[in-house]
A and B are shown apart, each in its own frame.
Chain A
Amino acid sequence: MGKLCDVSIRGVEISFGAVRVLEKLDLDVAQSEFIVLLGPSGCGKSTLLNAVAGLIDVQAGQIWIGGKNVTWEEPKDRGIAMVFQSYALYPRMTVRGNMSFGLKVAGMPKPEIERRVKAAAATLQITELLDRRPAELSGGQRQRVAIGRALVRDAGVYLFDEPLSNLDAQLRAELRVEIKRLHQRLAATMIYVTHDQIEALTLADRIAVMKDRVIQQLGTPNEIYRRPANRFVASFVGSPAMNFLPGAFAVREGAPCFLSEGIAIPLNGYAFEASPQDGAPVELGIRPEHVEAGGGVPAKIEMVEPMGSDQLAWLRVGGHPLSMRLPAEACTVAGAAMQLRLPADKLNLFDAATGRRL
């Protein structure tokens, strides 16, 4: 299907009146790549997607799709298809009408339209819904139709603007798998906007974490999860969230370590990206599943949250809260004391002032 296209965003700047939404943003998306723009609301990720689609004008910079400068092109001439959060189905048309509208506008011959609609409907298992109207469909079915409408365009680039945000948790998980399957089948380039880090981690080839008009980190889900570039990325990605302990960096007898109220954690084996000074204020980050029992750090269990497959224990370490993932079978009692080990190779050290990874 469709021709393969890469997307290149070069120095794009967008502002609404006096409000800056995007600042000198560069992003290259390779052919057939699935890239997720992840960030909290208001970070500019949807704006960027709309700019790629041609629905918002850019103030500066260029957008290239498939080796062609499309900065001034109309949406329909960019070779893109788009799926919206609110589905945006035409309410007075049937599913068939919705899916074929764009092709009809483009003046495609009827048999070809019929063929494409049928193929897309079969892919998404909505064949029996073709003659219904959007009002007669459930949320999940509507979003399938919306994806179908994008599919028939046979575009080189698919844009998804928070397509699953309006669905309940179960449907979201279901459609997420389906979108991933679709990407594998079509091998088309996809740009997907979401604020849900699970979606980002499960779907993406690469994730661009955005905040405050700029990309904070661009990397594979693994990189983003294991080596977050700054404190924001660390705290935004991962559920349950990463723990942070404030403290100071110190060098004791030639070995680096982290000091916080009454605890000292050796940092031998931590891959430093910078060389902090002795005594510099830092924050230590560790994910709940990386906290291990049986070390030298004293802790007290305050509360336990059973989560089915495992349980989350809320501990207090040196006056700071810390969560730890335990197997479901582990016998834990609130109020009990225990010893922890924070393995150095799983730690994340951030500059307390700039939030940057050390």
Chain B
Amino acid sequence: MSALAVTQPAGMRPRRLTPARIGVYAFLTVTALFFLTPLYVMLVTSLKPMEEIRLGAILALPRAPTLEPWIKAWSAACTGLRCDGISVGFANSVKILLPSVAASIAVGSLTGYALSFWRVCGAGLLFGALMIVAFVPYQIFIYPLVRVFAFAGINNSILGIVLIHTIFGLPTMTLLFRNYFASLPQELFKAARVDGAGFFRIFWSVMLPMATPMLIVAVILQVTGIWNDFILGLIFAGRENLPMTVQLNNIVNSTQGERAYNVDMAATLLTALVPLAVYFASGRWFVRGIAAGAVKG
């Protein structure tokens, strides 16, 4: 009786470790190591004094861990002639980031809303053009934009770089919000119109509250994108407002004499902290955002 009960399939199906499964785990482990090893090396190096680094054992844990390199990188490392550390760059990046993220999402969501609900003349054409422009490498725009901005007198200013990020963020943001709004039922829009709400009222009271998941995704995309930007910040922000990425480059590349690897590593980690934090805090939303464009919610 009991032997029969064992051989008869019942209840939960037993999980077996097949060769294919072992292969999958092996591949995942190797991949994880491949990406985690550099991070590990950076972290331990940034906590070692220079004497330990000179020994050359890059994988070894620090014997005498010190926060000295982090403090130096933050407030005393030299970027060219000035030695204020990377904190100046951090402040600049925040000053660029906040208005850029807000402006690009505000404009992008409004454009996406207008394109998906209001039958604007030539909406399809406009959207197509926007999409094509999204694929043009933006190095092409740089010189003409520098000339235009110089003519308008907003070159080398926070306003200039914010404007640049807003413009370059527009295609992606518009696509993101247009696709999301297009997946919402048209009847909702009709109901709001029967209720007498106008263009902005429908956007603000009905559509935007529904777009919360997309807003989060947009914030993630824009924060990481704008924070990691190098070339636009270098060209348009001006000498006073250079973002953290540019400052980091200056610290790493302008060292005289012995290379302070620990300080370089600490500065790099400090710069990477913001996008890293965003990824960690929002992994679920990030994946959802990537899928959102393709699959109807």
User: Which A residues form the contact surface with B (CB < 8 A)?
Assistant: 50, 53, 55, 74-76, 80-82, 84-86, 88-93, 101-102, 105-106, 149, 153, 161
Instruction: Decide: B188 and A90 in contact? CB cutoff 8 A.
Output: yes
Instruction: Decide: A105 and B197 in contact? CB cutoff 8 A.
Output: yes
Task: Kindly identify, within residues 168 to 199 of chain B, every residue whose CB is under 8 Å from any CB belonging to chain A.
Answer: 185, 187-188, 190-197
- Residues of chain B within 8 A (CB-CB) of A82 are 190-191, 194
B-side binding surface: helix, strand, loop or mixed?
helix
Enumerate 24 A-B pairs (CB-CB under 8 Å) in ascending A order: A53-B190, A55-B190, A55-B194, A74-B193, A75-B190, A76-B195, A76-B196, A82-B190, A82-B191, A85-B187, A88-B185, A88-B188, A88-B190, A89-B191, A90-B188, A90-B192, A92-B206, A92-B209, A92-B210, A101-B192, A101-B195, A102-B197, A106-B196, A153-B195
Q: Complex Cα distance A102/B193, Å? A: 9
Instruction: Decide: B206 and A75 in contact? CB cutoff 8 A.
Output: no
Q: Which 3 A-B pairs have the closest CB atoms?
A: A76-B196, A102-B195, A92-B209
The distance from the CB of B125 to the nearest CB of chain A, in whole angstroms, is 16
Q: A86-B185, A90-B206, A91-B210 are in contact. Are A105 and B195 (CB under 8 A)?
A: yes
- Residues of chain A within 8 A (CB-CB) of B205 are 90, 101
- Residues of chain A within 8 A (CB-CB) of B206 are 90, 92
Instruction: Decide: A105 and B196 in contact? CB cutoff 8 A.
Output: yes
Q: Please encode chain B, from 208 to 230, with 1 for each CB lying within 8 Å of some chain A CB and 0 for all others.
A: 01100000000000000000000
Q: A86-B185, A88-B185 are in contact. Are A81 and B194 (CB under 8 A)?
A: yes
The distance from the CB of A56 to the nearest CB of chain B, in whole angstroms, is 9
B147 within 8 A of A: no
Instruction: Decide: B196 and A53 in contact? CB cutoff 8 A.
Output: no
Give B190's nearest chain A residue, CB to CB.
A55
- Which of the residues B185, B194, B209 comes within 8 Å of A102, measured between beta carbons? B194
Residue among B187, B192, B206 facing the most chain A CB atoms (10 A cut-off): B187
Q: Complex Cα distance A195/B201, Å? A: 34
Instruction: Decide: B187 and A88 in contact? CB cutoff 8 A.
Output: yes
Q: Complex Cα distance A85/B185, Å? A: 11
Instruction: Decide: A105 and B201 in contact? CB cutoff 8 A.
Output: yes
- Which of the residues B185, B193, B196, B210 comes within 8 Å of A55, measured between beta carbons? B193
Q: Complex Cα distance A305/B197, Å? A: 53
Task: Kindly identify, within residues 229 to 256 of chain B, every residue whose CB is under 8 Å from any CB belonging to chain A.
Answer: none
Q: A90-B206, A91-B210, A92-B210 are in contact. Are A101 and B197 (CB under 8 A)?
A: yes
Give B189's nearest chain A residue, CB to CB.
A88
The distance from the CB of A101 to the nearest CB of chain B, in whole angstroms, is 5
- Which of the residues A88, A91, A102, A161 comes within 8 Å of B196, measured between beta carbons? A102
Instruction: Decide: B195 and A53 in contact? CB cutoff 8 A.
Output: no
Q: Complex Cα distance A101/B198, Å? A: 12
The distance from the CB of B32 to the nearest CB of chain A, in whole angstroms, is 38
The distance from the CB of A147 to the nearest CB of chain B, in whole angstroms, is 12
- Residues of chain B within 8 A (CB-CB) of A105 are 195-197, 201
Q: Complex Cα distance A91/B206, Å? A: 8
Task: Kindly identify, within residues 43 to 58 of chain B, every residue whose CB is under 8 Å from any CB belonging to chain A.
Answer: none
The distance from the CB of B181 to the nearest CB of chain A, in whole angstroms, is 14
- Which of the residues A84, A102, A149 comes within 8 Å of B187, measured between beta carbons? A84
Q: Complex Cα distance A93/B188, Å? A: 13
Q: Complex Cα distance A75/B205, Å? A: 18
- Residues of chain B within 8 A (CB-CB) of A149 are 191, 195
Q: Complex Cα distance A282/B205, Å? A: 60
Q: Complex Cα distance A22/B196, Å? A: 26
Instruction: Decide: B187 and A86 in contact? CB cutoff 8 A.
Output: yes
- Residues of chain B within 8 A (CB-CB) of A161 are 187
- Residues of chain B within 8 A (CB-CB) of A76 are 193-196
Give A55's nearest chain B residue, CB to CB.
B190
Q: Complex Cα distance A80/B190, Å? A: 13
Residue among B193, B195, B201 facing the most chain A CB atoms (10 A cut-off): B195
Q: Complex Cα distance A260/B187, Å? A: 50
Q: Complex Cα distance A140/B185, Å? A: 19
Give A87's nearest chain B residue, CB to CB.
B187
- Residues of chain B within 8 A (CB-CB) of A75 are 190, 193-194, 196
Q: Complex Cα distance A74/B193, Å? A: 8
Give A76's nearest chain B residue, CB to CB.
B196
Q: Complex Cα distance A97/B115, Å? A: 27
Q: Complex Cα distance A276/B206, Å? A: 60
Q: Complex Cα distance A161/B186, Å? A: 13
Give A80's nearest chain B residue, CB to CB.
B194
Q: Complex Cα distance A50/B191, Å? A: 11
Q: Complex Cα distance A161/B190, Å? A: 12
Q: Complex Cα distance A153/B185, Å? A: 22
- Residues of chain A within 8 A (CB-CB) of B195 are 76, 101-102, 105, 149, 153
- Residues of chain A within 8 A (CB-CB) of B197 are 101-102, 105
